[in-house]
Amino acid sequence: MTLLASKAAPPVEQAAPARKTLARRLVPYGYLSPTIVLIVVLMVVPIVMVISYSFRDNVIVQENSVFAGFANYTKVLTDPDFLVAMKNTAIFITVSMVAHLVLGLAFAMMLNTQLLSGVTKAIFRIVYILPWLFTIAVIAVIWRLLLDPSGVINYVLHSLGLINQSVNWLGDPGMALWAVTFINIWSGYPFFMISLLAGLQGIPNDLYEAAAVDGTNWFQRFVHVTLPQLRPVIISMAVLDLIWTSQQFALIWMTTGGGPLNTTEMLSTYTYKQAFSEYEFSTASAAAVIVLLLTMVLAFFYVRQQRER
Amino acid sequence: MAVRSTRLKRVIGAVTAATLVAFVAACGGGDSDDSSAGGDVTLEFAQWWGAELPAGELDKIVNDFTTQNPNIKIKLISAPYASTKQQLVTGAASKTLPDVVGLDGAWVNDFAKQGAIADMSKLMTDANYDSSQLASQIQLEGKTYMIPVVNFVYPLFVNKDLLTKAGVAKTPSTRTEFLDAAKKITATGSDVKGWALPLDTAVPNGIQNDVMSWLWASGGSMLADGKPALQTAAVKSTVEYVKSLNDAGVIAPGSLTMKEQDKVEKFTQGQVGMMIDSLAHVTLIKKNKPDLKFEIAAIPAEDSYTGKRGIPYASWGVGISNSTKHKAEAFKFVSYLMSQETNAKLATLANGFTGNKNAEPDFSNSDPLFKEAFEIYKQSTPANEFVGLPKSEDLMRSFDEQLQLVLTGKTSVDDALAKSQESWASVIG
> Does the structure show a pLDDT above 80 at B251?
yes
Judged on CB neighbours under 10 Å (0-12, 13-18, 19+), B226 is: exposed
Q: Between A and B, how many residue pairs show a Cβ–Cβ distance under 8 A?
A: 103
Q: Is A105 part of a structural domain of the chain?
A: yes
Nearest CB partner across the interface for A34, out of B20, B253, B404: B20
**What is the rounded distance in angstroms from the CA atom of residue A15 to the CA atom of residue A239?**
53
Structure confidence at residue B239 (pLDDT): 97
Do A37 and A82 have their domain in common? no
**B53 or B250, higher pLDDT:** B250
Task: State whether residue A257 sits within 8 Å of chain B by CB.
Answer: yes
What percent of chain A is modeled with pLDDT above 70?
Answer: 94
Residue A11 has a pLDDT of 52
pLDDT at residue B21 tops 70: no
Q: Is residue A65 part of a domain?
A: no
Does the beta-carbon distance from B93 to A281 stay under 8 Å? yes
Is the pLDDT confidence value at B271 over 50? yes
Q: Is the pLDDT of residue B14 over 50?
A: no
The average pLDDT across B204-218 equals 95
**Separation CA A292–CA B71 (nearest Å):** 50
Range of the domain at A253: 73-308
Q: Identify any residues that bridge with B405 across adjacent strands, giving them in sequence order.
A: none
Question: pLDDT, tens digit, for every residue of B377-398?
Answer: 888 888 899 988 888 889 999 9
Amino acid at B195: W
Residue A180: inside a domain: yes
Q: What is the pLDDT of residues B157-195, one digit of tens each?
A: 999 999 999 999 999 999 999 999 999 999 997 789 999
Number of domains in chain A: 2
ipTM above 0.90, yes or no: no
Question: How many of the other CB atoms lie within 10 Å of CB of A291?
Answer: 20
B20, pLDDT greater than 90: no
CB of B27 within 8 Å of a chain A CB? The answer is yes
CA distance A234 to A238: 6
| Domain residue limits, chain B | 34-152+314-382, 156-297+389-428
Burial of B239: CB neighbours in 10 Å, binned 0-12, 13-18, 19+? buried
CB-CB under 8 Å, A173 with B256: yes
DSSP annotation of A67: B
Whether B189 contacts chain A with CB within 8 A: no
pLDDT of residue A204: 94
* A14/A41 same-domain check: yes
For residue A157, the model assigns a pLDDT of 94
Q: Is B262 on the interface with A (CB under 8 A)?
A: yes
Q: Are A109 and A193 contained in the same domain?
A: yes
HSE-CB at B94 with a 13 A cutoff on CA atoms is 9
pLDDT in tens, B127-162: 999 999 998 899 888 899 999 999 988 999 999 999
Quote the mean pLDDT of chain A. 90
Residue of B257, B267, B323 for testing the chain A interface, max A β-carbons within 10 Å: B257
Residue A215: CA atoms inside 13 Å, Cβ hemisphere, count? Answer: 0
User: How do residues A141-153 score in pLDDT, each as one tens digit?
Assistant: 999 999 998 889 9
Please check whether residue A63 lies inside any domain of the structure: no
CA dist., res. B286 & res. B351, Å (int): 13
Nearest CA to CA, how far is B149 from chain A (Å)? 25
Chain B contact for A30, CB < 8 A? yes
Query: What is the three-class DSSP state of B157?
Result: strand
Has residue A59 been placed in a domain?
A: no
Alpha carbon distance A198, A220 (integer Å)? 21
A103 domain-assigned: yes
Same domain, A91 and A197: yes
CATH match of B156-297+389-428 with 3.40.190.10 = yes
Q: How far apart are the C-alpha atoms of B411 and B390, rounded to whole Å?
A: 27
Provide the pLDDT for residue B39. 62
Judging by beta carbons within 10 Å of its beta carbon (0-12, 13-18, 19+), is residue A155 exposed, middle or buried?
middle
Kindly report the average pLDDT of chain B as a whole number: 88
CA atoms in the 13 A half-sphere facing the CB of B340: 7
Which of A65-79, A130-144, B356-370 shows the lowest per-residue confidence on average (mean pLDDT)?
B356-370
Task: Read off the pLDDT of residues B222-243 as tens digits, 9 standing for 90 and up.
Answer: 999 889 999 999 999 999 999 9
Buried b (16+ CB within 10 A) or exposed e, A41-60: eeeeeeeeebeebbbbbebb
User: What would the DSSP string read from start to end of B3-22?
Assistant: HHHHHHHHHHHHHHHHHHHH
The answer for residues whose C-beta is within 8 angstroms of residue B207's C-beta and 6 or more apart is B199, B396, B397, B399, B400, B403
Are residues A155 and A226 part of one domain? yes
Residue B263 sits at the vertex; the CA angle it makes with B260 and B265, to the nearest 5 degrees, is 110
Closest-approach residue (CA) in chain B for A141: B262
Tell me if A277 and B394 make a contact (CB, 8 A cut-off): yes
Distance from C-alpha of B262 to C-alpha of B285, rounded to nearest angstrom: 12
Kindly report the backbone phi and psi dihedral angles of residue A180, in degrees, each rounded to the nearest multiple of 5, phi listed first: -70, -30
**Do residue A91 and residue A168 come from a single domain?**
yes
The strand pair at B100-103 and B310-320 is best described as antiparallel
Residue A207 identity: L
**Is A68 a domain residue?**
no
A chain contacts of residue B203, beta-carbon cutoff 8 Å: 257
Residue A86 has pLDDT above 80, yes or no: yes
Indicate the SS3 state at residue B43: strand
Chain B residues close to A171, C-beta within 8 Å: 253-258
Band of residue A309 on the pLDDT scale cut at 50, 70, 90: low
HSE at residue B205, side-chain half, CA atoms within 13 A, is: 19
Residue B360 has pLDDT above 80, yes or no: yes
Q: What are the pLDDT digits (tens) for A226-274? A: 999 999 999 999 999 999 999 899 999 999 999 899 999 999 999 999 9
Q: Under an 8 A CB cutoff, do A260 and B408 touch?
A: yes
What's residue A16's pLDDT? 65
Chain segment B26-75, per-residue pLDDT in tens: 443 334 444 444 468 999 999 999 988 888 999 999 999 999 999 999 99
Task: Tell me the residue type at B41.
Answer: V
The pLDDT value given to residue A114: 85
Contact B257 A255 (CB under 8 A): yes
Same fold? B34-152+314-382, B156-297+389-428: yes
Last residue of a domain, one of A12, A27, A54: A54
Q: Do B254 and A255 touch (CB under 8 A)?
A: no
Tens of pLDDT, residues B290-314: 999 999 999 999 999 999 899 888 8
pLDDT at A296: 92
CATH (domain of A91): 1.10.3720.10
Task: Count other Cβ atoms within 10 Å, centred on residue A91.
Answer: 14
Residue B2: CA count within 13 A, CB half-sphere? 0
pLDDT surpassing 80 at residue A28: yes
Residues of chain A with C-beta less than 8 angstroms from the C-beta of B16: 30-31, 33-34
User: Would you call A166 an interface residue with chain B, using a CB distance cutoff of 8 Å?
Assistant: yes
Confidence at residue A15, expressed as pLDDT on a 0 to 100 scale: 58
Nearest to B201 among A23, A31, A258 (CB): A258
In the predicted model, is pLDDT for residue B349 greater than 60?
Answer: yes
CATH no., domain B34-152+314-382: 3.40.190.10
Q: Is A110 helix (H, G, I), strand (E, B) or coil?
A: helix
